[in-house]
Amino acid sequence: MKIQEADAKSLLHAQGLPVPAWDIVHTPAEARAAAERLFLAGNDSVVIKAQVLVGGRGKAGGVKLAGSADEAEAIAGRILGMDIKGITVRKVLVAAAADIVKEFYASAVLDRTERRILLMGSAEGGVEIEQVAETNPEAIIRLHADPALGLLDHQARRFAFAMGLGTHWKAGAAVAQGLVRTMLAYDADLVEVNPLAVVREAGAHGTSAERLVCLDAKITLDDSALARHPDLEALRDPDDEDPADREAREAGISFIKLDGTIGCMVNGAGLAMATMDLVKRAGGAPANFLDIGGGARADKVAAAMRLILADPKVEAILVNIFGGITRGDEVARGLIDARAQQARAVPMVVRIVGTNAAEADALLREARFETAASLDEAAAKAVAATAGSRAGAAAGAGAGSPG
């Protein structure tokens, strides 16, 4: 699960990392009030940032500086309601604009190959790390946390010195420790600070001081661990999840809507992807990725059917079940029930093999379902069924219509 910048900053702050103060506002008037407070405190300008879960918001005009409260209000008015890659901006972050001396990059990620937490850093802040990895891979510092002990003090120091943080090395080491601590505390897959920056801040009596701070933050949480962090569930961005996604998640189904016309219901993520690929290969287009999971029973099958049929573009349904932990007869019973309550008649092709497949086959035959022996055959039949329903022969010639 991705969370927004401000929420990521809250988590970093809670773990003791240096994050400059910010406000989250929902209206231009609130933005003005927040900006006024910042100007009163002696800041010369403020930054206004759209809070959306898509990359490239700066390029899209979702991040702007303002030099007065009037300007802050006007800019917030333009950004709020703006459409960034299909997402409407509903809130903006307002903070003092930083006087940046130098930018860095720092992150903690899950390293699948080494099977450890990997700390990455670079003195080239503000740019995508993938870009640095391509153009200047030796500029990236990589360090693995100990699997049992975490990031050790001397590793954190080494990281800070290697980054070239100079006099800020103590703060840098603390940030390194903090990134790993944040990852462990919230079961994150990724904790990224870009830029991590040395900024100049006004001190007393006209003096200025430099400080290392986290200017932006990105955190991705491990979905498998959310159950033990009930408070983090509240950070889920409703804009990042459409109603179908939510229903799927609550039913324990993996579902991703796509653009095609053939609804797919499959057990297992790999097989679900392969089913989509074969639908495409047979000349059709998958309407979704849907994995009903291992050991699925009738209630899940019914929920999956509702999700698929809620998409008006779906012209045919392909059910592909290879039973292992899932028992074919339970899916077959679920399909028979679901079809009886189905909102609209859509041709269906069912293939069930593996555990209890013979029982499933008997049930499906008795209920006169269109069945297929192989996945290739099922994909071909489903594609043919969409052609049939498009030709207006929906009821008569459509595969899987109740006999």
Q: Which residues contact 398 (CB under 8 A, 6 or more apart)?
A: 316, 345, 346, 347, 385, 388, 389
What are the backbone dihedrals phi and psi of residue 291, each rounded to the nearest 5 degrees, phi first? Answer: -115, 115
Half-sphere exposure of 333 (CA within 13 A, CB side): 11
Specify the residue, 204 or 227, whose C-beta has the smaller distance to other proteins: 227
Retrieve residue 149's tokens.
């002990």
Considering the complex, what minimum distance in angstroms separates the CB of residue 282 from other proteins? Answer: 9
Q: Answer yes or no whether residue 334 interacts with other proteins by CB under 8 A.
A: no
Cβ count near 227 (within 10 Å): 9
Catalytically annotated residue among 5, 105, 124, 315: 105
Q: Answer yes or no whether residue 56 interacts with other proteins by CB under 8 A.
A: no
Cis bond before residue 195 (omega within 30° of 0): yes
Chain positions 186 to 245 lying near other proteins, rule: CB under 8 A, are 187, 189, 222-225, 228
Q: Answer yes or no whether residue 325 interacts with other proteins by CB under 8 A.
A: yes
Could you tell me how far CA 92 lies from the centroid of its own chain?
20
Q: Which of 59, 113, 341, 396 binds other proteins (CB under 8 A)?
A: 113
What mask of x and - would describe binding to other proteins in positions 72 to 111, judged by CB under 8 A? --------------------------------------x-
Specify the residue, 53 or 89, whose C-beta has the smaller distance to other proteins: 53
Specify the residue, 121 or 268, whose C-beta has the smaller distance to other proteins: 268
Specify the residue, 126 or 164, whose C-beta has the smaller distance to other proteins: 126
Long-range contacts of 197-205 (CB under 8 A, 24+ apart): 197/98, 197/100, 197/101, 197/102, 197/103, 197/104, 197/125, 198/100, 198/101, 198/102, 198/104, 198/165, 198/168, 199/20, 199/98, 199/99, 199/100, 199/101, 200/99, 200/101, 201/99, 202/42
Rounded distance, CA 303 to CA 100, Å?
A: 52
Retrieve residue 206's tokens.
């006209």
Among the candidate windows 44-52, 59-67, 274-282, 302-310, which touches other proteins by CB under 8 A?
Answer: 274-282
Active site residue 186: no
Among the candidate windows 11-19, 232-240, 307-315, 352-360, which touches other proteins by CB under 8 A?
Answer: 352-360
H-helix segments, 15-85: 28-40, 69-79
Dihedral-angle region of residue 284 (phi above 0 means left; psi in -120 to 50 means alpha; beta otherwise):
beta
Task: Number of residues interacting with other proteins: please give it, by CB under 8 A.
Answer: 52
Q: Which of 26, 170, 246, 281 binds other proteins (CB under 8 A)?
A: 281
Q: Which of 60, 184, 309, 310 binds other proteins (CB under 8 A)?
A: 184
Catalytically annotated residue among 103, 192, 330, 370: 192
Q: Which residues bind other proteins (CB under 8 A)?
A: 110, 112-113, 115-117, 130, 147-148, 183-184, 187, 189, 222-225, 228, 254, 256, 258, 266-274, 276-281, 286, 289, 291, 294-295, 322-326, 353-355, 374-376
Catalytic residue set: 105, 192
